């Protein structure tokens, strides 16, 4: 009718997932909260990797960041304060086929969850952990967290925080079996996205500390980093986070860093004068928990049932024993 000699056929891939397929409820974080950017980057990753939503699990503890699973249209577990990591490990042990992500705040990870953090790094299961670090307990309304800077006034430290802030990077880099540590800032979306993507492809436990703005309680926490690009040290290496042309023009303080060099990674993490951004450490060869504990003995269902019944018999209370005990007790009383 319009002079086209051939019929045009538009093929639509109905299996293709769009961003909407990963979007859950409308996020209820404060306007300008950095958590929004982390959510967008994560949804982008899921879309770009075409992860089946039913194969993804987002696990969190308690805090503003812990609302994350509600905003993803995937499986999720909004659990207990500080317990996101062991929950995620449990999911991964039982269902290694699932993509398991953890979202936790600085209080969640570095305070009540510290023991779990240390042991999750050590067991090195394939998980992506995003630590949203806004230097404060936000959900419970402005209490100092382990990463609150020295002197910062909060509801629990009205005279200013007494202690120097904990450095989550040096802690993680000091744990046996550490295999992936990155640091990014959420206000640079392309760097944030790339760090999450590389963490996702890492063959082990990937820990990302994300500096996250909390305009409500810590509006000035990262003002020096936002106002002067020179305060961010962009780590560069061949298979690391590549900066676009625009970013390269703006962020000129760079360092060639070999992420296999753990000693240099620790030195960079420990710097007080500048904030390193990028992948500090990566080692794909650290054994994962599921590898080292893999049983070579494959039992069938009958064998497993026999073992299970044996365990029940061992700890069960048998009727004849119970009645014999009752008789003994009755006799004792006479
Ligand atoms: Fe975000 Fe802070 Fe508001 Fe929590 S209190 S939602 S961290 S801006
Ligand atoms: Mg916090």
Q: In the prediction, which pLDDT does 93 show?
A: 93
Q: What is the helix (H) or strand (E) element at residue 166, kind and residue range?
A: none
Contact status, residue 214 vs residue 205, Cβ threshold 8 Å: no
Q: Which fold has domain 15-292?
A: Rossmann fold (3.40.50)
**216 in contact with ligand 1, CB cutoff 6 A:** yes
Contact status, residue 184 vs residue 266, Cβ threshold 8 Å: no
* Residue 92 three-state SS: helix
- Dig out the tokens for 64 from the structure: 């503003």
CA of 188 to the centre of ligand 1 (A): 18
| Shortest-distance atom of ligand 1 to CA 63 | 4
CA of 19 to the centre of ligand 1 (A): 24
Which residues neighbour ligand 2 (ion) by CB within 5 Å?
105-106, 134
**217 in contact with ligand 1, CB cutoff 6 A:** yes
Q: In the prediction, which pLDDT does 102 show?
A: 98
For 73-81, the CB contacts below 8 A with 24+ separation are 73/21, 73/22, 73/23, 73/24, 74/22, 74/24, 74/46, 81/108, 81/112, 81/113
Could you give the CA distance from residue 192 to residue 208 in angstroms, rounded to a whole number? 10
Nearest to 131 by CA among 156, 161, 152, 101: 101
Q: Which residues contact 243 (CB under 8 A, 6 or more apart)?
A: 190, 191, 234, 236, 251, 254
Which ligand gives the minimal distance to the CA of 133? 2
Ranges of each domain in the chain: 15-292, 301-333
Residue 181: strand pairing partners: 207, 281
- Dig out the tokens for 165 from the structure: 């802030």
Question: 26, 27, 29: which to mutate for ligand 1, most atoms within 8 A of CB?
Answer: 29
Across 61-169, the runs of DSSP E, i.e. the strands, are 75-78, 99-105, 127-133, 136-137, 143-144
**38 in contact with ligand 1, CB cutoff 6 A:** no
**136 in contact with ligand 1, CB cutoff 6 A:** no
- Dig out the tokens for 82 from the structure: 């500080």
Q: Cβ–Cβ contacts within 10 Å for residue 194, how many?
A: 21
Per-residue pLDDT tens, the chain, 334 aa: give them: 455 556 677 777 779 999 999 999 999 999 999 999 999 999 999 999 999 999 999 999 999 999 999 999 999 999 999 999 999 999 999 999 999 999 999 999 999 999 999 999 999 999 999 999 999 999 999 999 999 999 999 999 999 999 999 999 999 999 999 999 999 999 999 999 999 999 999 999 999 999 999 999 999 999 999 999 999 999 999 988 999 999 999 999 999 999 999 999 999 999 999 999 999 999 999 999 988 987 667 788 898 899 889 988 888 777 776 666 666 554 444 4
Give the Å distances, CA to CA, from 129 to 99, 181, 200: 12, 10, 9
**134 in contact with ligand 1, CB cutoff 6 A:** yes
Give the side-chain half-sphere CA count within 13 A for 14: 0
Could you give the CA distance from residue 330 to residue 169 in angstroms, rounded to a whole number? 64
Q: How many residues does the chain have?
A: 334
Nearest CA to ligand 1 atom 1: 33
Contact status, residue 115 vs residue 194, Cβ threshold 8 Å: no
Could you give the CA distance from residue 176 to residue 118 in angstroms, rounded to a whole number? 9
């Amino acid at each position: 009718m319009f002079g086209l000699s051939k019929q045009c056929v538009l093929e639509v891939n109905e299996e293709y997932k769009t961003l909407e397929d990963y979007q859950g409820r409308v996020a209820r974080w404060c306007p300008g909260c950095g958590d929004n950017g982390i959510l967008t980057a994560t949804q982008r990753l899921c879309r770009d990797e075409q992860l089946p939503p039913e194969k993804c699990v987002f696990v969190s503890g308690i805090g503003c960041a812990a609302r994350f699973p509600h905003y993803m249209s995937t499986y999720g577990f909004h659990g207990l304060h500080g317990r996101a990591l062991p929950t995620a490990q449990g999911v991964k042990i039982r269902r290694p086929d699932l993509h398991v992500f953890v979202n936790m705040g600085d209080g969640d990870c570095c305070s009540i969850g510290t023991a779990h953090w240390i042991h999750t790094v050590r067991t090195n299961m394939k998980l992506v952990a995003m630590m949203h670090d806004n230097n404060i307990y936000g959900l419970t309304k402005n209490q100092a967290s382990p990463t609150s800077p020295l002197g910062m006034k909060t509801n629990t430290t009205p005279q200013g925080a007494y202690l120097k802030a904990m450095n989550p990077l040096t802690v993680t880099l000091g744990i046996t079996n550490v295999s992936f540590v990155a640091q990014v800032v959420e206000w640079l979306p392309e760097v944030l996205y790339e760090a999450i993507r590389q963490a996702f492809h890492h063959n082990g436990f990937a820990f990302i500390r994300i500096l996250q703005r909390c305009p409500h309680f810590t509006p000035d926490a990262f003002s020096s980093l936002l106002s002067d690009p020179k305060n961010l040290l962009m780590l560069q290496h061949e298979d690391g986070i590549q900066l676009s042309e625009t970013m390269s023009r703006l962020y000129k303080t760079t360092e060639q860093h070999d992420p296999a060099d753990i000693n240099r990674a620790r030195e960079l993490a420990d710097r007080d004068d500048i904030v390193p951004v990028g992948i500090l450490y990566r080692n794909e060869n650290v054994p994962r928990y599921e590898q080292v504990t893999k049983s070579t003995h494959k039992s069938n269902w009958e064998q497993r049932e026999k073992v299970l019944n044996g365990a029940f018999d061992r700890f069960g209370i048998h009727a004849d024993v119970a009645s014999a005990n009752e008789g003994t007790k009755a006799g004792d009383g006479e």
